[in-house]
Structures are given as structure tokens and as C-alpha cells.
Amino acid sequence: MIKPWIFEFFAAPGKLHERFDASHSLRYFNAYLGLWASAEPAGFEGIFFSEHHYGAAYSPAPNLLIANIASRTTKLRLGTLGMVAPYHTPWQLIEEIGMLDHLTGGRLEIGTAAGIPNEMEKIGLGPDEARARNDEVLDILDAALKSPVISHHGKFWHFDNLHLTPRPVQQPSPPVWVTVVSVSSARKAARRGAKLCTGFHPLSKIIEIFDAFRDEAYKVGRKVGPDDLCIRRQVTLLDDEREAASMSTPNAAIRSSFFQQTHDSIHQTGRRSSIRRRRTHSRLAMTNSSPVPLSPSRIKSSTSAKLPALAILRLRSTGLSRRRG
């Protein structure tokens, strides 16, 4: 069984870079908040948000989005893939996790990422320091999820008997995910006891990463299965088969034009949107793949020994029903 999730980049409106319009920006936020909340009745299992800075996206603090969507839903699992560990002080990150697990009613998924080099270089954070900070934050996070009082002496942080509250509702810990792009990072995730997410690699590379994760887990005596794996893919929900076929062609210009038109529709209208429930299967045009008929319910029924339990879909959808609001 595959559980369909949504991965949300939440791109910043390009026009607001040139000239900020407060009312337009507010409508844009509200439109997306309504859209994400509609994922629950549409049959999605959860949403992972992303953290990006310096103008690339509208989610420099995705944990605030989690808190908002938690108040609008009752079942959706909510998390970030990932919280960029090198940017954060570890104790604040840990205490936010505890708060969010309360605000979501025990629906939080913890996700971390090492960050994007071209974003970090804008503040003088080089890859070596970022990697070292990421590793140290994760060491502190792992210790804090096991014990309410921790001590640590590392390269960047030093403290003794630090009491971190509140503890997460989910005990001993909410699920912990890490997003990776390499075999070595997959093996490290297995040793940490974390779950694994990867994508947008070719299928052969994803299998290599998953196999390395399984192999390393076996070596350390850890039993893992589909629930510990997640694949991320960009897809487009379409109603028309001919349109889906055109989106699966090598013509990148056609795909790019369609994605931009869909994305701009929310930017320009700022109206409340929702992901509609359908009796018929939606048509998904996958990047580097032929279009296949799928819907959240159809995805759930798919099975394969090589497939993960979670499929995160970064959606560009024509299936947005807009209501005046």
C-alpha cells in the first residue's frame, strides 16, 4: 500500500519581488492555506512543507504553516522536509518540535535536511561548515528525543543538564525523516534510526539508495520496511487524457508553459482553492514517465516490493476548484 502525501514548495509570487502588495500577498497566503486544508477530504495522508530562504519561497518558517493547518484539519499528518538544521539552534528546534506535536494533536512528522548550498552561500555558510553544523544538530536532536535532560560538548554548542520542554505527545518520539540524495547519506540515516526520503532521481538511482538504506539497517540490526521509505515525485493532476499525453512528451517547453500557467492562476486570483474529490480517477502526468491513471485511492492500493509506503506528490494541478471568497 502506498500512502499519498503532498510536498509543498510554496513558491514566492514573482510579481511581489518587484513591488510588494500587502493585500495581494495576504490573498495568496489564504488561497494556499485553504488549498492545503482541502487535502484531507481529498484523501491525502499528509503534507510535508519545505524550508527555503532569501526570496526563493514563501516558507522561511514552515513550522508556522504546520501550526495553522493543524487548526484546520483533524487527520492530516504534518511535517517539514526538511527543517534545515544548519540554520537553527538545536534547543529551539527541539522545543518547537514538542510544541508542534501538541498543536497537531500528535500528528507531527519530524523531517530534516542539510540545506541547499546556493542558498547558504548567500550568508557565507560554506558546505563544510554547513555539514558539520547539520551533523551536530542531529546528534543533539537524537539525544533530546530520548531524554528530557541532555548534555553536549561539540564544535558549535556546549551545555550541561539542559532541560527541554515540552516533550512530544507521540512517545518515545514522532516519526523522524531525513531527505537524502546519496548512498552515503542513506546509510547514515539507517544508522541513526531515521526514516528515508529521496527523489527526484531516476528510478535506478532511487533503488540504489533504498537498497543501501536496507543493507545498512540490516548491518546494525534494525528491521525496516516500506513504512521507512518515501519517494518524492513531481506530478500534474489532469482530467483530460490528451492533455496528459502532451505533458509526458519530451517537449519541456510545453510542460514548463503549463506549470507556469497553473501556478500563476493562484497568484493572480488569490481566491480560495481546493483539491476536488472525484469519482473517476485523475490523470497524473509524471516527470520522465508516461501518464498513468491514478488518484489518492488508486495510489493507496498499489503494491510493489521496491516501492515505499509513502509517495510524496509535488502537485501542479488543474483540479483546483476556485470559489469566490
Amino acid at the residue 64: L
Q: Measuring CA to CA, which residue among 191, 49, 32, 41 is closest to residue 108?
A: 49
- Bridge partner residues of 46 (DSSP): 5, 77
What is the pairing mode between strands 108-113 and 149-153? Answer: unpaired
Up-side HSE of residue 284: CA atoms within 13 Å toward CB?
A: 19
Amino acid at the residue 213: F
- Cβ contact 192:217 at 8 Å: no
Which residue has cell 520496511? 225
Predicted TM-score (pTM) of this structure? 0.79
Q: Which domains does the chain have, with CATH numbers?
A: 3-323 (3.20.20.30)
Task: At 151, list the grid cell.
Answer: 548534555
Distance CA 52, CA 62 (A): 9
- Give me the tens of pLDDT residue by residue for the chain, a chain 325 residues long: 567 888 888 888 877 777 889 998 999 999 999 989 998 998 889 999 999 998 878 999 999 999 999 999 999 999 998 899 999 999 999 999 999 999 999 999 999 988 888 999 999 999 999 999 999 999 999 999 999 999 999 999 999 999 999 999 999 999 999 888 899 999 999 999 999 998 778 888 988 999 999 999 999 999 998 889 988 877 666 565 666 566 555 444 444 444 444 444 444 444 555 555 432 233 333 333 333 444 445 444 444 434 455 555 544 333 333 333 3
Confidence (pLDDT) at 280: 28
- Cβ contact 289:255 at 8 Å: no
